[in-house]
Amino acid sequence: MTYTSPLRYPGGKSALANYIKLLVQENDLLDGVYVEPFAGGAGVALSLLFNEYMSRIVINDLNSSIHAFWYSVLNHTQELCELIEETNVTVAEWQNQKNGPRKRKCQFA
């Protein structure tokens, strides 16, 4: 399977992409707008857009972290790329990020 999304999202809908492409073709919906209210990794939406089944996608997510990620991808692309490039990829940094600001704050209380 080819991954279109930068996120590997548990329970993602990417496996449905070919089925949804078929539905789009069979129902004469090519070149339309695909709206995904629970985007997650947005694998289906991105696949439809990159393979030119849709001319536009609209994605959203209830999870504020996922929403913030996609907002940053679209509206703060350069800053996001710089942050990724400057981040040390170590187990210690992974643990630090995994704990998140809320847990880190509790560690010092």
Here the tokens at position 53 are 């089944």
Mean pLDDT of 9-33: 90
How much is the mean pLDDT over the chain? 88
Here the tokens at position 70 are 């996609």
For the cut 60, the answer to whether the pLDDT of residue 104 exceeds it is no
Q: Which pLDDT band, with edges at 50, 70 and 90, does 108 fall under?
A: very low
Here the tokens at position 26 are 């069979």
Q: Which pLDDT band, with edges at 50, 70 and 90, does 62 fall under?
A: very high
In 15-63, alpha helices (H):
17-26, 43-50
Residue 109 has what pLDDT?
Answer: 45
